[in-house]
Structure 1
Amino acid sequence: MRILEELRPKVFDDIAGQKHLLGTDSVFRKMAESGGFDSVILIGPPGTGKTTLAEIIGNYLQMPFVSLHAATAGASEIKQVMESAGTQGTMLVFVDELHRFNKSQQVLLLNLIDSGKAKLIGASTENPYHSLIHPLRSRSFVFELQRLNHEDFALMFAKACVYFKKRYNAVDVVISDEDFDRLVQASDGDGRRFYSLLELSAVGGKFVGDDLHLNVKQAAEHTASGRYNTDEHYNMLSAMIKSIRGTDPDSALLWAFSLLRSGMEPEAIFRRLLISASEDIGNAYPDAVTFAHAAYENFMAVGRPEGDIILAHVVTFLAGCPKSNRSYNSMWAVKKYLEENTPAVPEPLRTNGQGYMYPFDFGGFVKQEYGASEKVFYSPSDAGFESKIAERLKKLHLGVKDYGKSKSEK
């Protein structure tokens, strides 16, 4: 699309939206203009200016600029950047979809930053903090870009009109308020998509006298985005997990593949499945979390579309498993207890303590104090494999701890 290159912002003030970051007195603007950072991570939806912003920072600081995409770049590409870094002064390395880099690749980036020969700007459509190694997180400032709004698109449209008048030799560019609203809605906060739709509207438009009338309806109808807004993504994730929790594999499948269709990264879907395997299934089927992790690794190794078979496999498996949230509840119970108490380690359990009884000298179990002599944080259910755990704990701790009952039964 020619319009994307012709109207690509060249300086900070050209960027539509993001006033919270680009105001003249903003922390981000001052940091970017001074180069006072080692690593910056920009998170936000597509088409909000992450790549453009990185390029503008490189131009402003007059730094050599290298762009990598984490989905296609590997360790060899990072090493090539490391070898060339410093030959022309400090380099600015931009990594799109930063969260896709594995730990070893992140270590290479970290070494590059620590060498002082390069600064890093990472970009992601989701917060990548969960997937970053701690040393890289600690060196990084994170800033969030927001979806463009109606006012932002109005400013972009004014610039597009100047471009179209020159390109098509038109006296004016005409669009109705209804069509402009339709254009904004179809763009879904994505500036790149907005300009692309405008270009198609101009190509399919017609002249009435010397005025170019844009054909927005046709452009919008033939380029359905297939995307959902952020709230709807979260709603579908919630629906998928609640369907798994409710043991409804059909509904779980519906929402899992709706998420894929809407453009959500498979990693984000599998991350929620892994959480569900522990939170909702837990010890009712302990191998569920191992299965979900293996399915994720296999999906990434196979890729789409064949990997969709693996996604269907793990979703139906988790939905069909017996359910228990008792281990999940035990986490909150012990955290609450620790907010109000500071337990001391019993003498026999200390490193050089006296009086410890080795369970295997007593056939595998012996009653002694381990720190919560009467306290029950984990109360196993009678679901699936957890029923065996409940039976064993009840038998071993009879008369000391009241295992296997819900709070309402106590």
Structure 2
Amino acid sequence: MQNEPLAYKMRPKRIDDIAGQKHILGPDTPLYKMIEKGHVPSMLLYGPPGVGKTSIANAISGSSKIPFFALNATHAGKKDIEQVVMDARMSGKVILFLDEIHRFNKLQQDTLLPHVENGSIVLIGATTENPFHDVNPAIRSRCGEILQLERLTEQDVLQLLKKALADEERGLGRLAIHATDEQLERIANAANGDARKALTLLESVYYASDEIDGTTRLNDNAIETLAKRIGVFGDKGGSNFYNLLSALQKSVRGSDVNAALYYLAHLLESGDLIAVCRRLLVMAYEDVGLANPAVGAHVQAATEAAVKLGLPEARIPLAAVVVEMCLSDKSNSAYQALDAAIHAIHEGKTGNIPNHLKDAHYAGAKELGHVGYHYPHDTPIGTFGGWVKQQYLPDELEGIEFYKPVIAGEEKRMAAIYEKLKSFKS
């Protein structure tokens, strides 16, 4: 059909035609060799939109010569699955490509999985969500291969664009088109590793450009204008979004300002301002912590301001605190100490609260032995405030240390106080 989108027409027919993904389908990989010999295992394809999940499934079918059926788990019903099962019985074996497999319900699963087990249906599931979080374990256990697809490199996309311009049967090769290398590079760069977006943008730019002397010359202004409309890398609420949050936090923890701002930009473009603000607050206490306690208040103020301002102005206070956290002294000692205490409790390291620490604000407390507490504020010690030597941990845990100070920033001063107080106890 002439009106089919270019991205659809350019889908690979064999695995040798697949753009990128050489780490799983290169000529030297086990999967490539299996498919070339006609053996196709059930598998899960995991990756962001536009990296070629549907294309790979089609190409595997083309290389293996096994009949191919495609369904979407969101819309497919029991009857759709039963129809595929009937076709499998007639053909001996079929490939079922099931998009959005993380949405597969139990009724669909019960209908399909016995036939996956007996080998009459080869299941190729596709998902943008982490299969270990969102795909039913029963499905995962029947898919021998869980393949994480990588976003295409700019060079991969560039080669695909040139192939589309040259292909006379499925691409634009029958048309007189003039495109400079620089223009194709800009289209590849704008697509951000998404093959579908790259081909769609190329096709749109072609139709938005003028024909001069029988040749359509791609228009620079059309590229610039249309590139802004194709969206960015990041699916709000999906696995990719959480990967971006993770990358932001790890970049801040690693004090890489440029990387942190890059991931912040992607996250803000996704539009989920609240999730970004929540993660920044966590980071202030998890990664900066006691080394710079003021950062927590700064991030709280910045995130409150961001929510009140809304996007795009929200980016201004958030950028400031991201840079501040990147370049701040850092410590995770406080929450690590708490986690150590929680772990000790789970291991059964508990004991009775010392009597002098128990509540004594009621008649009869003295008769129960809840006496002997010394009020530290009554015993000043230098400029520190009040301190008195007395036991606080249960007898069974006396002497245990959960807190291990990090000698960084403001915590360096706190660590010195901690060690001094330890010496008073001995």
Residues 263, 188 of structure 1: CA spacing in aligned structure 2 closer, same or farther, 3 A cutoff? farther
Residue 270 of structure 2, aligned match among 262, 274, 284: 262
Q: Distance in 1 between matches of 2:402 and 2:57?
A: 54
Q: 1:117 aligns to what?
A: 120
Q: 2:149 aligns to what?
A: 145
Residue 231 of structure 2, aligned match among 226, 230, 252: 226
Q: Distance in 1 between matches of 2:108 and 2:185?
A: 44
Q: Distance in 2 between matches of 1:240 and 1:15?
A: 34
Residues 168, 114 of structure 1: CA spacing in aligned structure 2 closer, same or farther, 3 A cutoff? closer
Residues 235, 92 of structure 1: CA spacing in aligned structure 2 closer, same or farther, 3 A cutoff? closer
* Bigger-Rg structure (1/2): 2
Shift of 1:373: 5.0
Residues 401, 102 of structure 1: CA spacing in aligned structure 2 closer, same or farther, 3 A cutoff? farther
Q: Distance in 2 between matches of 1:105 and 1:53?
A: 23
- What is the DSSP-based 3-state SS (H/G/I as helix, E as strand, rest coil) of the residue aligned with 1:159? helix
- What is the DSSP-based 3-state SS (H/G/I as helix, E as strand, rest coil) of the residue aligned with 2:27? coil
Q: 1:252 aligns to what?
A: none
Q: TM-score if structure 2 supplies the norm length?
A: 0.55
Specify every segment of 5 or more residues in structure 1 that has no aligned partner in the other structure, as ranges. 242-254, 281-323, 335-369, 377-396
Supply the AA of the counterpart residue of 2:196. R
Shift of 1:121: 0.5
2:154 touches 2:192 (CA, 8 Å); kept in 1? no
CA RMSD of aligned residues (A): 4.6
Correspondences of 1:200-279 after superposition (within 5 Å): 200-222=204-226, 224-228=229-233, 234-236=243-245, 262=270
Correspondences of 1:308-347 after superposition (within 5 Å): 329=339, 333=343
Residues 237, 109 of structure 1: CA spacing in aligned structure 2 closer, same or farther, 3 A cutoff? farther
- What is the DSSP-based 3-state SS (H/G/I as helix, E as strand, rest coil) of the residue aligned with 1:36? coil
Supply the AA of the counterpart residue of 2:243. Y
% identical aligned pairs: 31
Q: Distance in 1 between matches of 2:341 and 2:37?
A: 45
1:23 touches 1:29 (CA, 8 Å); kept in 2? yes
Shift of 1:184: 1.2
Residues 327, 96 of structure 1: CA spacing in aligned structure 2 closer, same or farther, 3 A cutoff? farther
Q: 2:188 aligns to what?
A: 184
Correspondence 1:23 to 2:26: yes
Correspondence 1:43 to 2:46: yes
Q: Distance in 1 between matches of 2:133 and 2:173?
A: 49
Supply the AA of the counterpart residue of 1:130. H
Q: TM-score if structure 1 supplies the norm length?
A: 0.57
- What is the DSSP-based 3-state SS (H/G/I as helix, E as strand, rest coil) of the residue aligned with 2:96? strand
Provide Cα deviations, 1:142-200, integer angstroms capped at 9, x if missing partner.
12222222322232222222347996965x53223432222112111111111111111
Q: 2:403 aligns to what?
A: 407
1:38 touches 1:113 (CA, 8 Å); kept in 2? no
Provide Cα deviations, 1:222-281, integer angstroms capped at 9, x if missing partner.
35223226988634467799xxxxxxxxxxxxx99x8697399xxxx8xx99xx9xxx9x
Residues 179, 29 of structure 1: CA spacing in aligned structure 2 closer, same or farther, 3 A cutoff? same
- What is the DSSP-based 3-state SS (H/G/I as helix, E as strand, rest coil) of the residue aligned with 1:68? strand
Residue 97 of structure 1, aligned match among 78, 90, 100: 100
- What is the DSSP-based 3-state SS (H/G/I as helix, E as strand, rest coil) of the residue aligned with 1:126? coil
Residues 86, 328 of structure 1: CA spacing in aligned structure 2 closer, same or farther, 3 A cutoff? farther
Residues 218, 79 of structure 1: CA spacing in aligned structure 2 closer, same or farther, 3 A cutoff? same
- What is the DSSP-based 3-state SS (H/G/I as helix, E as strand, rest coil) of the residue aligned with 1:25? coil
Correspondence 1:32 to 2:41: no
Shift of 1:81: 3.1
Correspondences of 1:58-73 after superposition (within 5 Å): 58-73=61-76
Supply the AA of the counterpart residue of 2:31. F
- What is the DSSP-based 3-state SS (H/G/I as helix, E as strand, rest coil) of the residue aligned with 1:93? strand
Shift of 1:83: 4.5
Supply the AA of the counterpart residue of 2:222. Q
Q: Distance in 2 between matches of 1:403 and 1:130?
A: 41
- What is the DSSP-based 3-state SS (H/G/I as helix, E as strand, rest coil) of the residue aligned with 1:137? helix
Q: Distance in 1 between matches of 2:157 and 2:53?
A: 17
Provide Cα deviations, 1:334-379, integer angstroms capped at 9, x if missing partner.
6xxxxxxxxxxxxxxxxxxxxxxxxxxxxxxxxxxx9745599xxx
Q: Distance in 1 between matches of 2:126 and 2:397?
A: 51
1:103 touches 1:132 (CA, 8 Å); kept in 2? no
Q: Distance in 1 between matches of 2:38 and 2:270?
A: 37
Provide Cα deviations, 1:57-112, integer angstroms capped at 9, x if missing partner.
22333322221112222445334433443122112111112122245544444322
Q: Distance in 2 between matches of 1:114 and 1:181?
A: 46
Q: Distance in 2 between matches of 1:263 and 1:91?
A: 41
| Count of residues paired in the alignment | 293
Shift of 1:120: 0.5
Residues 403, 104 of structure 1: CA spacing in aligned structure 2 closer, same or farther, 3 A cutoff? farther
1:103 touches 1:133 (CA, 8 Å); kept in 2? no
